[in-house]
Structure 1
Amino acid sequence: MLTLSEAVRLPPSQVGAETHRLAEHLGRVPAAMLVPAAYEEAFYREANLPEQLSRLLAPLNPARLDEDLLETLAPRAAGLILTSYLGDDAVQRFYRALGNAGLSTGELHLRRPGGRETEAATVLPPGTAALHALKRLWARDWSFEALLARIDEAGSIGLEARPTLLFAGPPGLPDTARSAELGVPAALVNREGLVGLP
């Protein structure tokens, strides 16, 4: 887990270009942290999810897609993510990072760098609600819409792990005054501060 100041030392290909943009305005960003893609990748690997998902989705033929079948299988694929467990060490690392980032109490939200879809949680120590929200966000990658988009764009259901941003407070809303002030196309702001430059 990384603070935004730590994340900006890594290339945008690893942490997301938006993370770099946000790091330029750290004084305006509330408590935040980045969960690296490697954390999600380790979860998939340790829970044997690639093999389980491959078996579940094997009946799909991207070249001649049966959308009715996809609609049936997508919730089951998302369910695999939601019902699989992170290892104890991974959970403890996440909880420690939440505490270190000042995110183990109160309202927070999560989203992918550059994305707009969020998951929100109200957290008490050690941070179980935040962990559940993280898994809900990961499970969105296996929704009917996400799978259909990947098949249309890439011709496969394959997926690369991606980083996740966590911010204090509720999901941000577009703020035209803030985007004009910062000279950016869009700025997301909540009561805690600047939480997005998608």
Structure 2
Amino acid sequence: MLTLAEAARFPEMQVGAETHRLAAHPDRVPAAMLLPAAFEEEFYRRANLPEQLARLLAPLNPARLDEDLLEELAEKAQALVRGSSLLDDAVQLFYRALGNAGLSVGEVHVRRPGGREVEAARVTPPGTPALHAVKRLWARDWTFEALLARLDDTGSIGLEARPTLLLAGPPGRPDANLAAELGTGAALVNGLGLVGLPDR
């Protein structure tokens, strides 16, 4: 788990271009941290999710897609992701990082760098609601819409792990004035500060 400053030392393709943009404004961004893609990948691997999801979604035929079946299986896939557990060591590492980042108390929200889909939580130590919000966000990759988009784009349901941002406060709202000031397509703010620069 990384602070934004630490994450900015990695290439954009690993941590997301938005992470670099946010890290460039440390005086404006409230408490935040980044879960690297490897954390999600480890969760999937340790819970044996790739095999379970492949087995669950095997009845789908991309060439002749049954959308009713896809909808039914998408709900089961999301439940599988949400219901799977991280190993205790990973959970404790997450809680420590959350505390170190100042995110173990109060409102937090999570989303993918560059993404607009958000999950929010009101957190108390050690941080279980934040962990649940992260898993809900990851489960969104298995919604009907997400699966259909992947099938349309690639002909496959396969998915690569991606980084996840955790930011203090409620989800941000667009601020056109700040976006213009920063020379970016969009800026998201909440009562604590700048929490999103999803577009250039």
Q: Which amino acid aligns with 1:59?
A: P
The 5-angstrom pairing of residues 12-51 of structure 1 reads 12-51=12-51
**4+ runs deviating over 2 angstroms:** none
Deviation at 1:116, TM superposition (A): 0.3
Give SS of 2:79's match: helix
The 5-angstrom pairing of residues 112-191 of structure 1 reads 112-191=112-191
String of CA shifts for 1:47-103, please: whole Å, max 9, x gaps. 000000000000001121111110110000001101100000000000000000000
Deviation at 1:104, TM superposition (A): 0.2
Query: 1: distance between equivalents of 2:63 and 2:189?
Result: 42
**Is 1:9 equivalent to 2:3 in the alignment?**
no
Give SS of 2:186's match: coil
Equivalent residue, structure 1, for 2:75: 75
Equivalent residue, structure 1, for 2:52: 52
5+ unaligned residues in a row in structure 1: which ranges? none
Query: 2: distance between equivalents of 1:82 and 1:43?
Result: 11
Query: 1: distance between equivalents of 2:70 and 2:183?
Result: 42
Number of corresponding residues: 198
Q: TM-score, normalised by structure 2?
A: 0.98
Equivalent residue, structure 2, for 1:196: 196
Q: Which amino acid aligns with 2:11?
A: P
5+ unaligned residues in a row in structure 2: which ranges? none
Deviation at 1:26, TM superposition (A): 1.2
Q: TM-score, normalised by structure 1?
A: 0.99
String of CA shifts for 1:99-151, please: whole Å, max 9, x gaps. 00000000000000000000000000000000000000000000001000110
Query: 2: distance between equivalents of 1:193 and 1:153?
Result: 36
